Structure 1
């Protein structure tokens, strides 16, 4: 049987990136809503909800990046030169945020400074992830498999709006996570934040969808030509149902539902992104087959991935299972 390895690797990378955005998304989202809570004890509770898992969440970014480098070297060599600055700034934000997370627990007089570092590191990492997404959606100039655009092609009104939009996406995820992990007055404040954040996120989704369709004729043709509209219509309908479900769950104080529905919103947005660019790995013209490494290279890498990926998934599942439950002020936490 002849296996289409580029398809297999596209699926693995897509899975890795989605798991990263899902897991590190709510983690980063906590940093984004950090400014709404001024008491040090409340901020410590927020951090303690992710203290055992935050660094493990970033494993999936490594999986996605390494997979892209090994399986689609042409895409890697095109995407990186087109986005050197936002990639560096995103990684710097993650590093600065991680350092703040570690050092905050040891700080006394400098505690407010490390709080600011945690906030700005989260904002910087999230914003530039969104900019990267916008840069990819708007298309990258390629000729003979090489980037031929300018150093600042990534900077556009659309990519900047995507950066801001991803901040609201992660804030919704973070708020939903904290509804599950906290209780009492802290949880009530999370409920109060969830509705306005979700409403803004719905607006962001609508603007990005319309902007993409109007600015990219190929994307509009993909969504609205022939039977495609009928096939893809469930995506926007499910977005509206998910938003309604979040509002309903908040009103009824159903703890787990807002986070789960926020994850569904994220999945629908990710699905829409895949639909819009497929089968290109670098829009508007570089397909997964054109960007692929040799068959032997992809096969060799796949053997290792088949062994390692289940271990990573089991480890990730176990850490969330072991540290499940509420986190309260005064609990033994991360120090």
Structure 2
């Protein structure tokens, strides 16, 4: 296979991975802040936490929509195979995202009633369920789905395994850490100091989770193991664990020296390395371990048409995203209000 038929799916795979990575960056700390409500009972602190994300949170799901559109339009074979296998966690995730969005707004309108606490609980649970489901969905893709004649041939709960539970809990821990380090960057006073303590605990949990998932993943399928053990393929993955440890050292130094932005950037680096390692591990499968990118991709003409539209719209979305975060930069205090 040569020419456009070969390279277009590769380009689209890069765009898909980039969309997932940007979504994790933007919505990860958003969901993490919701989960951190469990350790922040005071309404005044919860309001500050929410106000750090209130101006920008609506646009964070844009990148999830882009990922779904790419899967549907460019890799329809993967879309048709993976969705039936992952209907349950996908539907749960979407319901949780909808409910947390409603809770986000209604908690302000019911500030003086018992409903305020209930909406806070809904925001917290919606964030936690969405984060867990995203980890479980990722695990479902990595561990593979049974395919017969190009179609899913398994059961509705095949995705629910010890590995998917581990990945779900790992993503919850990682998002909570992103939220805590975001608050270190964006808040002041006692809330910032508390976030530094929570970050240390959550970083330890995430590091253990990264090690556990990294050791488990190569054992799922023989091609995965070859990526990590065969020469020269191991050249591509060998730097990942080294960089994880290096970022961990920088993270601890940033926390101890009271840096504001360094811990957040280090955690983003951890997520980038994890996604990179997973992408290298499962390449070139779209539906491991049976269907490659080229097996499930749409015709080159269709991919090229969509690529033109994406090339026009994607820079606009990126510029708007950067602009909105720049406008609402800086520390947020109890004196500030968004709603």
Same fold (TM over 0.5): yes
Q: Distance in 2 between matches of 1:268 and 1:212?
A: 15
Residue 33 of structure 2 is matched in structure 1 by 30
Match of 1:327 among 321, 324, 332: 332
* Counterpart check, 1:12 vs 2:51: no
Q: Distance in 2 between matches of 1:254 and 1:291?
A: 46
Match of 1:295 among 300, 305, 314: 300
Query: What is the SS of the residue equivalent to 1:226?
Result: coil
Q: Distance in 1 between matches of 2:258 and 2:218?
A: 37
Q: Aligned-pair distance for 1:228?
A: 2.5
Match of 2:68 among 59, 65, 76: 65
Q: Please provide the CA RMSD for this pair.
A: 1.1
Cα offsets for 1:209-236 (capped at 9, x unmatched) = 1111223222111111112334421100
Cα distance, 1:215–1:5 mapped onto 2, change above 3 Å: closer
* Counterpart check, 1:159 vs 2:196: no
Query: What is the SS of the residue equivalent to 1:194?
Result: helix
* Counterpart check, 1:187 vs 2:192: yes
Residue 45 of structure 1 is matched in structure 2 by 48
TM-score, structure 1 as length reference = 0.98
Cα offsets for 1:243-265 (capped at 9, x unmatched) = 11111110001111000000000
* Counterpart check, 1:98 vs 2:106: no
Is the CA contact (8 Å cut-off) linking 2:221 and 2:289 kept in structure 1? no
Residue 258 of structure 1 is matched in structure 2 by 263
Residue 21 of structure 1 is matched in structure 2 by 24
Residue 225 of structure 2 is matched in structure 1 by 220
Q: Aligned-pair distance for 1:150?
A: 1.2
Q: Distance in 1 between matches of 2:149 and 2:98?
A: 35
* Counterpart check, 1:56 vs 2:48: no
Q: Distance in 2 between matches of 1:138 and 1:232?
A: 19
Match of 2:313 among 308, 318, 322: 308
Match of 2:79 among 52, 66, 76: 76
Q: Aligned-pair distance for 1:70?
A: 0.3
Q: Aligned-pair distance for 1:27?
A: 0.6
Q: Aligned-pair distance for 1:295?
A: 1.2
Match of 1:206 among 199, 203, 211: 211
Structure 1 unaligned residues grouped into runs of 5+: none
Further displaced range: 156-165 or 215-224? 215-224
Residue 111 of structure 1 is matched in structure 2 by 116
Q: Aligned-pair distance for 1:39?
A: 0.8
TM-score, structure 2 as length reference = 0.96
Structure 2 unaligned residues grouped into runs of 5+: none
Match of 2:244 among 236, 239, 246: 239
Q: Distance in 2 between matches of 1:326 and 1:182?
A: 5
Query: What is the SS of the residue equivalent to 1:281?
Result: strand
Aligned length: 334
Q: Distance in 2 between matches of 1:154 and 1:24?
A: 23
Match of 1:267 among 265, 268, 272: 272
* Counterpart check, 1:196 vs 2:201: yes
Is the CA contact (8 Å cut-off) linking 2:38 and 2:124 kept in structure 1? yes
Cα offsets for 1:85-124 (capped at 9, x unmatched) = 1100000010000000011111131100000000000011
Q: Aligned-pair distance for 1:303?
A: 1.4
Q: Distance in 1 between matches of 2:189 and 2:327?
A: 23
